[in-house]
Amino acid sequence: MNKHATAALRALDRFQIELPSWGFADTGTRFGKFFQAAAASTTEEKLHDAGLVHELTGSCPTVAVHVLWDFDDPSDPASAKATAKLARKHGVKLGCINPNVFQDQHYKLGSFCSPDAKARRAAMDHTLDSIALGKAAGSKSMAVWLADGTNYPGQDNIRRRFNDLKAAMRKTHDKMAKAWKGATLLIEYKPFEPAFYHTDIPDWGASHLLCQHAGKNAKVLVDTGHHLPGCNIEQIVALLLNEGRLGGFHFNDRKYADDDLTLGSIDPYAVFRIFHEICQFEFDAGKDYGTTKIDYMIDQSHNLKPKLEAMVQTVCEAQKLFVKACLVDRAALLKAQSKGDITGAESLLKAAFDADVTPILTKWRKSKGLTADPLAELRRRGVVAKLGKERAKARRQRGEAQSASYA
DSSP character string of 185-234: EEEE--SSSS-SSEESS-SHHHHHHHHHHH-TTEEEEEETT-S-TT--HH
Query: CATH number of 3-398: 3.20.20.150, 3.30.360.10, 3.40.50.620, 3.90.550.10?
Result: 3.20.20.150
Residue type at 373 in one-letter notation: D
Mean pLDDT value of segment 369-376: 98
CA nearest neighbour of 264 among 317, 325, 319:
317
Residue 407: pLDDT above 50? Answer: no
To the nearest 10°, the Cα dihedral for 145, 149, 151, 157? 180
Residue 405: pLDDT above 60? Answer: no
Distances (CA, A) of 59 to 4, 63, 224, 311, 324: 21, 11, 20, 12, 17
What is the percentage of the chain residues whose pLDDT exceeds 90? Answer: 94
List of residues 6+ apart from 281 with CB closer than 8 A? 238, 241, 242, 292
Residue 251: pLDDT above 50? Answer: yes
CB 196 within 8 A of CB 150: no
Residue 16: pLDDT above 50? Answer: yes
**What CA–CA distance (Å, rounded) separates 256 from 260?**
10
Mean pLDDT value of segment 136-145: 98
| pLDDT range class, residue 109, cuts 50, 70, 90 | very high
CB 273 within 8 A of CB 248: no
Q: What is the pLDDT of residues 310-351, one digit of tens each?
A: 999 999 999 999 999 999 999 999 999 999 999 999 999 999
Query: In this predicted structure, what is the pLDDT of residue 1?
Result: 80
Residue 300: pLDDT above 60? Answer: yes
Length of the chain: 407
Q: What does the DSSP 8-state code read for residue 105? A: G
Q: Are strands 149-150 and 141-144 parallel, antiparallel or unpaired?
A: unpaired
Under DSSP, is residue 107 helix (H, G, I), strand (E, B) or coil? helix
Q: What is the pLDDT of residues 169-197, one digit of tens each?
A: 999 999 999 999 999 999 999 999 999 99
Distances (CA, A) of 268 to 36, 129, 261, 275, 322: 27, 39, 12, 11, 11
Query: In this predicted structure, what is the pLDDT of residue 406?
Result: 42
Query: In this predicted structure, what is the pLDDT of residue 24?
Result: 97
First-to-last CA distance in the chain? 48
| pLDDT range class, residue 205, cuts 50, 70, 90 | very high
pLDDT averaged over the chain? 96
Residue 206: pLDDT above 50? Answer: yes
| pLDDT range class, residue 29, cuts 50, 70, 90 | confident
Residue 256: pLDDT above 80? Answer: yes
Mean pLDDT value of segment 300-308: 93
Q: What is the pLDDT of residues 273-287, one digit of tens each?
A: 999 999 999 999 999
Query: In this predicted structure, what is the pLDDT of residue 246?
Result: 98
| pLDDT range class, residue 403, cuts 50, 70, 90 | low
